[in-house]
Amino acid sequence: MKKKIAIAGLGAAAQQMHLPAYAQLPDLEIVGGFDPAIQTAGLGFPLFSSLEEMLEKTHPDILTVAAPPSSHFDLAKLGLLAGCHIFCEKPFMETLEQAAEVIALSKQLKRWVVVNQQFRFMNIHNEAQRRIGSPEFGELLFLCAHQTFYTTPQTEAGWRGEDLRRTCKDFGIHVLDLCRFFFGENPTAISARMPKGCNPDGPDSLNLIQLEFSRDRVAHIILDRVCRGRHRYLDIRLDGSQTCIETHLGGNMEVALGIRGSTRRPYVHADLSMGGYARIYRGEKSKKIASDPFDVFAHATTRLLQSFLKALDSGGVPPCHGDDNRHTLALMLAAYESCERRCPIGMQYEPQAGRIPSER
């Protein structure tokens, strides 16, 4: 039987990720949408003047919350009280207190809240995580993540450009979640610097973040939106005890000829990866182990929703549920606290939340 889904918030996230993702799921029917800023018909489903009207008239099984983060708390509560499961865009909530209240309400009403941390479901990240702990890769010892993002008035439009907690809140939360995913546990401490240079009253355009994990393992994150150079959406290097995996998020089509400086041997390299790729390295030798399609964000959202729907049908636990994701939210908030206090922040977790399961 088809599940009915309604959407609160029809901005860029909904139109670029959610609607294309839902179109790939034959067991999902969009029954309505609500967004005070969008009154245009022609989306293929009815629009409503209020969330309450939409919930009352459509009775959806799932409510997608894709509106600005400041509205997540109220929208999620209304959806839960109407009997819906919630599929929420990141960041989950504005505060840990809001997250705790929504999670408690979802448990009381026996409904799930799932957060769209779709980066775990990209082929390149999923395959990299699958190989961690294998004889080929060994133990994950160090992670380095790097983004350079060329900002424009278009990229900073809407709530993103107005929020002084911009970069770590909107994008860094994905990288923090991937660190938990790759290491398979929660960090014990976080330290962050967010220097603002000549724009002291502006957003956190530069994030320098370090996470401490058990057994003296470390993740280092650079999110650079002050750079006026080329755009690199997200590059991650995973150093294992046996080999190294590098992932690159963003389209790539290249043919390269050259001579390696270390061996003075010529090489030829060709690659076509429309949405991103992952390669495993041992010295100069490498092979591609995964790639993603051009619509990588919608594709990953589809895979996450498939797992969510499967859990609803089977009575299982869906991935990226609110109880797990509040630890990613806690890390993002602690990054800002660390920057403000100029010191590392130790992280405390409930005992049952220590291990992060694979999302395969």
Q: What is the pLDDT of residue 253?
A: 54
CA neighbor of 147 nearest in space, from 129, 163, 171: 171
Burial of 241 (C-beta count, 10 Å sphere; 0-12/13-18/19+): exposed
| CA-wise closest residue to 280 among 315, 314, 236, 222 | 236
Q: Tell me, what's the pLDDT at 360?
A: 35
Q: Where are the beta strands (DSSP E) in the chain?
A: 3-8, 28-34, 62-65, 85-88, 113-115, 140-148, 189-193, 206-213, 217-224, 232-240, 244-249, 252-259, 266-273, 276-282, 285-292, 345-346
Same fold, 3-115 and 120-298+329-348: no
Q: Output the CA–CA distances (angstroms, integers) from residue 332 to 165, 258, 314, 326, in the order listed.
A: 10, 42, 32, 10
- Hunting for tokens 């769209």 — which residue is that? 116
What is residue 353's DSSP assignment?
Answer: G
Residue with the bigger pLDDT between 250 and 353: it is 250
**Confidence check: pLDDT of 324 > 70:** yes
C-alpha 274/C-alpha 252 separation (Å) is 6
Locate the domains of the chain by residue range: 3-115, 120-298+329-348
Q: What is the model's pLDDT at position 201?
A: 87
Mean pLDDT to the nearest integer, 312-335: 97
Using pLDDT thresholds of 50, 70 and 90, give the confidence band for residue 121. Answer: very high
For 120-298+329-348, the fitting CATH number among 3.20.20.150, 3.40.1010.10, 2.40.50.840, 3.30.360.10 is 3.30.360.10
CATH code for the structural domain at 3-115:
3.40.50.720
**Predicted pLDDT of residue 255:** 52
Instruction: Inform me whether the pLDDT recorded for 291 exceeds 60.
Output: yes
Amino acid symbol at 316? G
In whole angstroms, give the CA distance from residue 111 to residue 201: 41
**Amino acid symbol at 203:** P
Rounded Cα–Cα distance for residues 226 and 166 (Å): 13
Split at pLDDT 50, 70, 90, the class of 231 is: confident
Which of the given ranges, 30-44, 256-270, 292-306, 343-357, has the highest pLDDT on average? 292-306
Which position has the higher pLDDT, 284 or 65? 65
Residue 91 preceded by cis peptide, ω within 30:
yes
Whole-number pLDDT of residue 354: 36
pLDDT tens, 90-118? 999 999 999 999 999 999 999 999 999 99
pLDDT in tens, 32-91: 999 998 877 678 899 999 999 999 999 999 999 999 999 999 999 999 999 999 999 999
Q: What is the distance between the alpha carbons of residues 151 and 169, in angstroms, rounded to a whole number? A: 16
d(CA 34, CA 44): 13
Residue 250: predicted pLDDT: 84
CA torsion through residues 90, 94, 96, 101, sign: negative
For strands 276-282 and 244-249, give the pairing. antiparallel
* Residues near 298 by beta carbon (within 8 Å), at least 6 away in sequence: 16, 17, 18, 20, 21, 24
**Mean pLDDT of the chain, nearest integer:** 91
- CA quadruple 150, 16, 145, 190: dihedral, nearest 10: 100
Q: Looking at per-residue confidence, does 84 or 348 come out higher? A: 84
